[in-house]
């Protein structure tokens, strides 16, 4: 049995793969959002002066850093509905269980990324914001966070790619993500090489797209006057345009 290109190309355009890929991206994206929001509060908690905030944050990171993601997914899908009746309803799909489960685990790692990003911002920045009379929330949102995000972006991109791959773990809770799609096809046809090759192509395309998007976003954090958006164009350009006096030589 040799590699059959016809099967390979047939499967490459099979909508099932496309939906599987979208499901993988969806789970990764949702869990990253959960992880980032939760991770932010954990990071703030871990660096807080108040021990009643520090303690729980520490406990959370310790707990979820230790557990295998696979175990968390199994608990989310199998154990929790037994304990919490509300989770036996239709809305609690494998997609939601996987997104939350991976999000909870990922939050422990995002917390560390966000914590170091926040602490990388020079102390003088907070001081300057406070000296202007900005309230603590404003200082965080308008001064600290934009700078911390720049530091956090590259490692967060890595985490997102990791989550795309981790989403394949959700096959154990019957989520039809990318790898499951390939595996189902293999189980029927036993054409391992062709089906797995299609999965490879899809993963490569997904990660390539993420890499491109990431570098686009990072470019917006360069903070140089080249490549400014229109809305932030300097006023002096307007005044210069008005003053049409030619320069003397």
Partner 1 sequence: MSNETPATVPTLQVSNLHKAYNGNEVLKGVEFAVNKGQVKAVLGPSGSGKSTMLRLMALLEPADAGEILLDGKRIGASDANGRIAHHSERKLAVQRRDIGMVFQKFNLFPHLTALDNVALGLTDVQGVGKVEARERAFEILDKVGLAERDGHFPSELSGGQQQRVAIARALVLNPHVMLFDEPTSALDPELVGEVLEVMENLAAAGMTMIVVTHEVRFARRAADEVTLFDGGVIVEQAEPAEFFENPQHERTKQFLSHVH
Beta-carbon contacts of residue 16 (< 8 Å; ≥ 6 apart): 181, 184, 185
- 211: number of Cβ within 10 Å: 12
Measured from the CB atom, the residue of 229 and 249 that comes closer to partner 1 is: 229
Q: According to the binding rule CB under 8 A, does residue 133 interact with partner 1?
A: yes
Q: How far is the CB of 130 from partner 1 (least distance, A)?
A: 6
Residue 249, judged by CB atoms within 10 A of its CB (0-12, 13-18, 19+), counts as exposed
Site string for partner 1, 177-216 (x = CB under 8 A): ----------------------------------------
Measured from the CB atom, the residue of 213 and 228 that comes closer to partner 1 is: 228
Residue 82, judged by CB atoms within 10 A of its CB (0-12, 13-18, 19+), counts as exposed
Q: How far is the CB of 239 from partner 1 (least distance, A)?
A: 7
Judged by CB under 8 A, the stretch of 9-17, 80-88, 128-136, 179-187 that binds partner 1 is 128-136
Q: How far is the CB of 240 from partner 1 (least distance, A)?
A: 8
Q: Which two tokens stand for residue 33?
A: 């959002």
CA distance 237 to 154: 33
Measured from the CB atom, the residue of 93 and 125 that comes closer to partner 1 is: 125
Q: According to the binding rule CB under 8 A, does residue 52 interact with partner 1?
A: no
Question: Of residues 3-42, which lie at the interface with partner 1 (CB under 8 A)?
Answer: none
Q: According to the binding rule CB under 8 A, does residue 91 interact with partner 1?
A: no
Q: Distance of alpha carbon 48 from its chain centroid, rounded?
A: 25
Residue 245, judged by CB atoms within 10 A of its CB (0-12, 13-18, 19+), counts as exposed
Measured from the CB atom, the residue of 89 and 224 that comes closer to partner 1 is: 224
Q: In the chain, what are the helix, strand and coil shares in percent, each to the nearest 5?
A: 80, 0, 20
For residue 67, what is the DSSP state? S
How far CA 196 is from CA of 107, 164, 169, 199, in Å, comes to: 31, 16, 16, 5
Chosen residue from 132, 204, 205, 212 binding partner 1 by CB under 8 A = 132
Q: According to the binding rule CB under 8 A, does residue 246 interact with partner 1?
A: no
Chosen residue from 1, 235, 241, 242 binding partner 1 by CB under 8 A = 235
Judged by CB under 8 A, the stretch of 23-31, 96-104, 190-198, 230-238 that binds partner 1 is 230-238
Residues that bind partner 1 (CB under 8 A): 122, 124-125, 127-136, 138, 142-143, 146-147, 150, 221, 223-225, 228, 232-237, 239
């Amino acid at each position: 049995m040799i590699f059959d290109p016809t099967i390979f190309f047939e499967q490459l355009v099979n909508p099932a793969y496309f939906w599987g890929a979208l499901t993988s991206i969806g789970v990764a994206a949702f869990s990253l959002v959960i992880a980032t929001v939760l991770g932010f509060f954990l990071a703030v908690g871990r660096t807080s002066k108040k021990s009643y905030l520090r303690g729980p944050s520490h406990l959370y990171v310790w707990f979820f850093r230790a557990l295998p993601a696979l175990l968390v997914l199994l608990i989310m899908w199998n154990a929790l509905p037994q304990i919490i009746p509300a989770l036996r309803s239709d809305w609690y799909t494998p997609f939601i269980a996987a997104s939350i489960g991976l999000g909870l685990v990922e939050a422990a790692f995002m917390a560390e990324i966000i914590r170091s990003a926040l602490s990388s911002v020079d102390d003088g920045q907070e001081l300057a914001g406070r000296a202007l009379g900005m309230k603590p929330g404003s200082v965080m949102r308008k001064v600290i966070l934009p700078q911390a995000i720049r530091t956090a972006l590259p490692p967060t991109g890595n985490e997102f790619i990791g989550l795309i791959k981790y989403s394949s773990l959700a096959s154990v809770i019957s989520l039809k993500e990318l790898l499951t799609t390939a595996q189902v096809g293999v189980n029927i046809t036993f054409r391992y090489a062709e089906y797995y090759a299609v999965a490879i192509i899809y993963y490569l395309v997904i990660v390539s797209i993420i890499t491109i998007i990431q570098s686009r976003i990072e470019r917006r954090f360069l903070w140089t006057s080249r490549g400014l958006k229109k809305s932030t164009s300097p006023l002096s350009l307007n005044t210069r345009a008005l003053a049409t006096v030619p320069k003397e030589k």
